Structure 1
Amino acid sequence: MTRLSRSALAQLPVGAARGYDPAAHGVGILHLGAGAFHRAHQAAITDAALAASGGDWRIAGVSLRSADLAKTLASQDGLYTLIERGAQGDRARVIGAIDRVVAARGTPEAVLGPMSDPAIRIVTLTVTEKAYGIDRSGPDADPAHPDVAADFERPAAPRGVLGLLVEGLRRRRAAGHAPFTVLCCDNLPENGALLRGGVVGFARRVDPELADWIAAKVAFPSSMVDRITPAATEATLALAARLTGFEDAAAIETEPFCQWVIEDRFPQGRPDWAAGGAIFVDDVALYERMKLRMLNGAHSLIAYAGFISGHALVREAMADPALAALARRQIAAAAATLDPLPGIDLAAYGDELAARFANPAIAHETYQIAMDGSQKLPQRIFGPACDAQLVGQDLRPFAFATAAWARYCMGRDESGERYALRDPREVEIAAVVEAAGDGARALLAGLLRLPGLTPAELLDGAFEAQSAEILHDMIERGMATAIAGEAA
């Protein structure tokens, strides 16, 4: 079978390409973290914008970890197949928005060179929460983060996200070029303001005048992104070949639903992302809080409780009536902590979430969602729990999710088999687990008191007591029994 390439575009089935010539459009966006989610979300929406309105807005992608994707897309002229899988069947579309992807590990110039190019007007990021190295209490750069610490020592040859952005902006300023806009697309609360604080804080330590210039001149709009995108498998690649007639080693699959809410602050211009369904607003915070608390909070609950109870996939967990009931309870509890949102029916949004989680065509692994819990729980579980406590709302849904995370942190399933936590604080977590043994109260207390993790108002009260009680039940009777009992 012939490999997907630019010459194949004219031979694709009707509807599998958007009908524009990718080579006719220049590159205007640099994206850090060109993994599956970016290709299913921002790149796909940019593809629609190019087809609708044109412009030099193609994407130069950067892989911060592996060179494999860069090599694969290079062999396919940057093209890949995006498969939407839903109740109406499977639909394939070949995306042409990516010009190239480069591997940046050990080669900062692969990123800094394009950042210095005035043709690059936007830098977008999906690097996961743990990669930024931001002290959220500031917000500021976190000197304890290994990449931040290394880049403080060698700011002209950075390896981390903050260091790369600061050095790229330094070069723009030195050359007299306008700065690029920095658009965070990760699940961080008020992500634009948070990233701005980290970048300015980093710059303040290495070049105070540069920090002032960044604070005055660089736009950091916030955004909220949503599209469930599981890891691709060999079955994904086989399906892409069947739907398009071409071999594609970079094919990915996702759900039909896609949402992007963006604060409209782009001094150097932007693509017509609205043509791909993006919504531009003055304030993203309410939408962001809705998604983090309702979708991501329930996802975390399903991931931890589902994984320990033997459900490898989210759809399997949602086929368990008891766990599905707890997921819906979590969604409703999170919704009750939110202010009204214009144009959004929170109950309908919650019903839609449950249906998306149960989508039988999407194989989203609970273990994949479970990673980096220490970075996710503060905004997904602890934040809404604090708001719920203030108004006397029942804390038990949040306590159950917290207990499920603590049980997962033990690092062994119910047969005793070990698994990797894949958490940036796994050394600290392992020390707490070893000290606590199987003592639920000691384990829960130690985890909640990891520095900077849990708001003080959730400690030494009903929330901690309920979480410890539920964790004890999970350890003593097993997760499946605990889930059934809680749902009843």
Structure 2
Amino acid sequence: MTRRLTDCTDLPRDVQRPGYDRAAHGIGILHLGLGAFHRAHQAVYTDDALAAEGGDWRIRGANLRSRELPEALNAQNGLYTVVERSGQERARVIGAHGAAIGGDPAAVLRAACDPAIRILSLTVSEKAYGIDRAAMDLDESHAAVAADLARPDAPAGVLGIVTAALRTRRAAGTAPFTALCCDNLPENGALLRAGVLGMARRRDPDLERWIAENVAFPATMVDRITPAVTDRTLEDAAALTGHRDLAAVETEPFSQWVIEDHFPQGRPAWEAGGAELVGDVRAHEAMKLRMLNGSHSLLAYAGQMLDLTYVRDTVDDPDLEPLIRRHMQAAAATLPKAAGIEPDGYARALMARFANPAIAHETLQIATDGTEKVPLRWLAPAADLLRQGGDVRAFQFAVAVWLAWLSDLAQRGEAPNDPRGAALQDLARQAGDDDAALLRGVMGLPGLMPAGLAGDEGFADGVIDRLGAIRRNGLRAVMRQELAA
């Protein structure tokens, strides 16, 4: 049986390995959310930073609920393989991780209180935070938030743990960590700050003031297509390294990380791995969220309806490919005119990345959490475009595709993978064939529809017309009508 990856002593010569003595560098980062994206992105930049300039910046990773990945990493002394797929697969072993925590919120809280931790970073997905973006405050109906408000000394959710750790550090006279959100959320630093302050306010107004005055919440923009790990991922990692690796991850060659450079307790030299340290992330963030993530959601729902399994299949479809480009162009029209962003070139690069034949990124993986993603990726830019007097047909089409997909799921007795999945299923079932009722019901969910769209009958009529046509004639026919128009 192939030996488990536990050290770097007998790796093939063409496998890149950590360029530093792991034992000489301590832990300085606690990262919540050990998913594939973190392992293919922030941890790789940190590996490069350690090789370039050293420092006590290795990572202690943690999952609040699941144990499987932390246990796999611990069995491998924190080592794992990144398989980079393009024309030829390349393997790299990452050494930035130390011991990991899985399924033990109390242990995560203890780790966050450790004075050695100077950065607490997060990739926990949009739905895990429990923040009301409209109010910039806690969502007290969120299950984890409600539980942590009830038991603030034994938190198990993201905001509860971050707030409790800062409270403990303040009482001990320990400098606060920098809280670094790396999830795909607009102004993610400000959003995380609002959630933590909301949690603190409900417990101790003095703590809220201290956090507001002393804790940094830099904004970030992250980008690297990272498909879900499959058996093939593990098989290819073993073939490339000669070792069995149960924490391996696969990804594309492209990677981007734009970071607001505000770290009072210091940071790794992430720029050594190509990170961009800037004063304001917002223009980059908007471009990525609206162009990449927005078109990703469109191709995911359309791909599911057209039985297109992978992203690469969607950009090979002669009817869908030009509509993906159209969506990017509509999104680009809403972007700020800022130095450092070039939407046309970015769109061309995105289409090339989506077409990468070596990346098996499933549309089903992307077609999740629509109620968290659609408002930010489609509805907010649509509202901006309406204010500018622009053409919103691309966004009307996208919303209609999503609603048609929800309706199809409901007819099969299925709910979408979404924090409001049951509500969406009920709304689609109740609406039946009534297109206007389905739109009203879904867009009536709290927090979905921005004010700029809520009362716009023209936008709603355009969605209803397309939804009805999709349900009568099929998505393929409507796609061709969109192209002809």
TM-score bracket for the superposition, by shorter chain length: over 0.9
Q: Which stretches in structure 2 are left out of the alignment for 5+ residues? A: none
Alignment-derived partner of residue 267 in structure 1 = 264
Give 1:177-188 correspondences, 5 Å limit. 177-188=174-185
Letter of the aligned partner of 2:466 in structure 1? Answer: I
Alignment-derived partner of residue 428 in structure 2 = 433
Letter of the aligned partner of 1:426 in structure 2? Answer: G
**Identity over the aligned pairs, expressed in percent?**
55
Conserved? CA contact 1:4–1:80, under 8 Å:
no
1:294-348 superposed Cα distances (whole Å, 9 cap, x missing partner) = 0000001001111111111111111101111100000011011112231332101
Conserved? CA contact 1:73–1:80, under 8 Å:
yes
Alignment-derived partner of residue 328 in structure 2 = 331
Is the partner of 1:182 in helix, strand or coil? strand
Letter of the aligned partner of 2:465 in structure 1? Answer: E
- Kindly state the Cα deviation for residue 378 of structure 1 after the two structures are TM-superposed: 1.2
- Does residue 448 (structure 1) correspond to residue 443 (structure 2)? The answer is yes
- Kindly state the Cα deviation for residue 101 of structure 1 after the two structures are TM-superposed: 1.8
Is the partner of 2:60 in helix, strand or coil? strand
- Kindly state the Cα deviation for residue 6 of structure 1 after the two structures are TM-superposed: 4.0
Conserved? CA contact 2:259–2:278, under 8 Å:
yes
Within the candidate set 454, 459, 462, 2:458 is matched to 462
Alignment-derived partner of residue 387 in structure 1 = 384
Alignment-derived partner of residue 198 in structure 1 = 195
Alignment-derived partner of residue 93 in structure 1 = 92
Distance change in 2, residues 1:433/1:115 (3 Å): same
Q: Which stretches in structure 1 are left out of the alignment for 5+ residues? A: none
Within the candidate set 381, 394, 399, 1:397 is matched to 394
- Cα distance in 1, alignment partners of residues 444 and 322 from structure 2: 30
- Kindly state the Cα deviation for residue 456 of structure 1 after the two structures are TM-superposed: 2.8
Q: How many residues align?
A: 483
Give 1:117-196 correspondences, 5 Å limit. 117-196=114-193
TM-score, scaled relative to structure 2: 0.97
- Cα distance in 2, alignment partners of residues 93 and 17 from structure 1: 6
Is the partner of 2:404 in helix, strand or coil? helix
- Kindly state the Cα deviation for residue 160 of structure 1 after the two structures are TM-superposed: 0.9
Is the partner of 2:360 in helix, strand or coil? coil
Conserved? CA contact 2:15–2:90, under 8 Å:
no
Alignment-derived partner of residue 66 in structure 1 = 66
Letter of the aligned partner of 1:143 in structure 2? Answer: E
- Kindly state the Cα deviation for residue 4 of structure 1 after the two structures are TM-superposed: 4.0
Is the partner of 1:92 in helix, strand or coil? strand
Distance change in 2, residues 1:337/1:238 (3 Å): same
- Cα distance in 2, alignment partners of residues 81 and 481 from structure 1: 44
Is the partner of 1:293 in helix, strand or coil? helix
RMSD value over aligned CA atoms? 1.4
Give 1:357-372 correspondences, 5 Å limit. 357-372=354-369
- Cα distance in 2, alignment partners of residues 277 and 480 from structure 1: 41
Conserved? CA contact 2:33–2:62, under 8 Å:
yes
- Does residue 32 (structure 1) correspond to residue 32 (structure 2)? The answer is yes
Distance change in 2, residues 1:230/1:408 (3 Å): same
Conserved? CA contact 2:382–2:395, under 8 Å:
yes
- Kindly state the Cα deviation for residue 430 of structure 1 after the two structures are TM-superposed: 2.1
- Cα distance in 2, alignment partners of residues 172 and 480 from structure 1: 58
Conserved? CA contact 2:414–2:425, under 8 Å:
no
- Kindly state the Cα deviation for residue 268 of structure 1 after the two structures are TM-superposed: 0.5
Conserved? CA contact 1:83–1:92, under 8 Å:
yes
- Cα distance in 1, alignment partners of residues 7 and 386 from structure 2: 60
Distance change in 2, residues 1:479/1:17 (3 Å): same
- Kindly state the Cα deviation for residue 35 of structure 1 after the two structures are TM-superposed: 0.5
Distance change in 2, residues 1:204/1:346 (3 Å): same
Greater shift, 58-67 or 257-266, is seen at: 58-67
Letter of the aligned partner of 2:464 in structure 1? Answer: A
1:191-217 superposed Cα distances (whole Å, 9 cap, x missing partner) = 001110110011100111111111111
